[in-house]
Amino acid sequence: MTDRRRRKAPARRHVRTRQITPRTHWLLLSVLTVTLSTALLLHGYTHHMFGIASDDVSGPRGRNDTVPTQVVHGGPVIANAATSAHTAKVKARTVALTFDDGPDPVWTPRILDVLRRNQVHATFFVVGIQAVAHPELIRRIVAEGHQIGIHTFTHPDLARLAPWQRALELRETQLAVSGAAGITTALLRPPYSSANNALDDADWSVLQQADAAGYVTVLATRDAEDWQRPGVDRILAHATPHGHAGQIVLMHDAGGDRSQTVAALGTLLPRLKAQGFTFATVSDAVGMAAPVRPAGLGDHLQGIALISMLQAGDWVVWLLGLLMYAAGAISVLRAAVVLLAARRHRRLRTRRRSRSWGPPLTEPVSVIVPAYNESAGIEAAVRSLLTSDHPVEIIVVDDGSTDGTADLVEALHLPVRVIRRQNAGKPAALNTGLAAATYDLVVMVDGDTVFEPDTVRTIAQPFADPRVGAVSGNAKVVNRGGLLGRWQHIEYVVGFNLDRRLFDLAECMPTVPGAVGAFRRRALLDLGGVSDAALAEDTDLTMALCRAGWRVVYEEGAKAWTEAPASLNALWRQRYRWCYGTLQAMWKHRGALVQRGAAGKLGRRGLVYLLLFQVLLPLLAPVVDIFALYGLLFLDPLRMIGLWLAFLLLQFLMGLYAFRLDGERAGPLWSLPLQQFVYRQLMYLVVIQSVFTAVSGSRLRWQRMERYGSLQVPVVPPQDPGLPQQAPYDGFPEPTRYAGFPRPAPYDPLQRPAWYDGLPQPPPRPGFRQQPGPYETPQLYDANSEQSP
């Protein structure tokens, strides 16, 4: 493309076009990505790293050399563990009921109902993540006169955690309680704890750290073992005291089905009351002064923020999971539709070839080659056109090149018309060529592209149908060396060409690529020529033709070989311009959504397809990738890997079929797995950049592309001496002069598979020569305007 900075424009507009690339969106995207990743990490840690499990999962305990004797044989409430440890026992004939692992939305309310009916107060040791999920139950527990203790945030075995993780578990649980009910508590029951004599050295270190943080540890004297769900009678037997000694009874209100606990509790409370036992909270049972107090304003606000953040994280994870499955389903549906369309398209074209489009077209075709600093490839492009087996008029429009492109073409002394003009951009160069063209059929080709001998003839035949206004050819990547070249080759064959078959079948072709496209000249002139309102002038032009009622078709047999970007930076700039230009064209032609006829097909089929699969789906891709990593870390990694392999297999099968349709070898498809980790991310970042640029109202300048001189130059045999030589600027070739023009041997780049497959290039075969030395320097000019798809 021509760099618009060279165009004459008012100074104010020039200043504006220099301030074109918005930077704040990358900062915003980075902040959103970091925030989302942090939220997912926190959600994964709190929901999947540990979790509530049976109380016996921690396995056998170790030595207890550091546990004081008075603690081993003392009461279940332990204070001052870090200094001079002492314990407290429960008063005689007193039972302190304690419930772990809650609150649970099903079982906690039922247990509270039983306690209220029997006018009994108990102590609930809550798990932080459960308190976050059900803060209303924490408030109900407090409101009904029960006591709150903490049971860590995620229910891990504290003895197996690092000190900083222990502190985090306690602090976050305290904040959850503060945010839910506006209170703080000094009561702690470590998960998987039981009686005093079960403490080992690791457990004692936990109690010492908890004491330093201000907690009093509450163990149990009787374990109802309801976590095993042994039956109501067994739970009653385990929970009933023997004798008159006071007891702290361990039960559970969450962590699974607690129907047996509820049933046993309804029998236990009246029975023990009848035996003379009283029920109290832990602090009242041992005579502890006010372990539960109102929370400070700072803790309360932090707790509210924590609850809000984690609840939002739950919603985000749910939404991301939904979006991931939706994206997967849409991708599978798209693959099925595209493959079925490609199959039907092939069958229809096979039948049509037997009947043809109509009478064979033999009239000459005008070929317009817009060129700006194309010295690296212009000779190959021009010579390949002269090997055409169809009569052509070649017009090279030099758009103010500074590298001698026009001089080079003139020095070849070939029947080519060269028009020099001041630099004004590719649309202006194409319009200049249209004005100079002699014939009604016009082929447009980029200066970095070479045609096969039958390309012009093949792309011209659909115009036998008077309804056809434009024909898209089949652009192929010539520089397939390296991973980047292979990935673009796969994209051209699998992405662009499969989509074109679908668009052709649905009669809603959105783009005729600038690398190889043919048009009715009068149709273009009726539109006012090629517009420069969008960077993707080929997409804009194609959509305008569709809205004008012309049919646009795809002819896969019209092959052209074009240079693709050989660096990530060049690829980024090219695709950024393509995507931004496509968005411009879609917005410009949005009125097609409500029109009828051919325009309606473009709007309701083509534009909707582009919006769904070329804009919205890539915008969701980063979120899907982040959630996939979340799944690998915290969910079932085998399941996530299986989903990824299934998606990859689907892409591979699509690739095999697409390569078969295009007559390509399937070898490059081995790089598909690697493509998912680099190329795919680059493409959706391009879409994000383009969308932000469009939404912000910034104007993107014309991008320039490097030229590498990788095209081979076919040697055109000497012109028949009997034919008059054409001066560079004089006259146009007449149709009759091509009838006697000697035809060279066919130029077939497919006969050199090693070159096009990215392998080391062999010496040129006879009849070919490399570019001359002075023109091998890569030049910058983005003439390749093919859009995706």
Annotated catalytic sites, by residue? 100, 252
| Lookup: tokens for 135 | 């803060």
Q: What angle do CA 561, 565, 566 make, to 5 degrees?
A: 110
Q: Distance between CA 429 and CA 260 in Å, rounded?
A: 84
Q: Distance between CA 713 and CA 657 in Å, rounded?
A: 32
- Reference 244, options 74, 119, 114, 89; nearest CA is 89
Q: Distance between CA 702 and CA 704 in Å, rounded?
A: 7
Alpha helices in 123-184 (DSSP H): 128-133, 135-143, 163-181
Q: Which residues contact 597 (CB under 8 A, 6 or more apart)?
A: 549
Q: Which residues contact 102 (CB under 8 A, 6 or more apart)?
A: 108, 124, 126, 127, 130, 137, 252, 253, 254
| Lookup: tokens for 87 | 């314990």
Q: Is 594 exposed, middle or buried (0-12, 13-18, 19+ CB in 10 A)?
A: exposed
39: left (phi over 0), alpha (psi -120 to 50) or beta: alpha
According to DSSP, the residues that pair with 296 across neighbouring strands are none
Contact 444, 519 (CB under 8 A): yes
Angle between helices 201-212 and 163-181 (to 10 degrees): 50
**Count of other CB atoms within 10 angstroms of residue 447:** 32
| Lookup: tokens for 511 | 């783009």
Report which residue type is found at 685. L
Contact 323, 623 (CB under 8 A): yes
| 3-class SS of residue 598 | helix
- Reference 102, options 159, 141, 158, 63; nearest CA is 141
Report which residue type is found at 626. I
| 3-class SS of residue 77 | strand
DSSP string, 231-284: -HHHHHHHHS-SSS--EEEEEESSSS--HHHHHHHHHHHHHHHHTT-EE--HHH
| 3-class SS of residue 768 | strand
CA distances in angstroms from 424 to 1, 375, 429, 532, listed in the order given: 10, 18, 7, 10
Contact 486, 757 (CB under 8 A): no
| Lookup: tokens for 409 | 């073409």
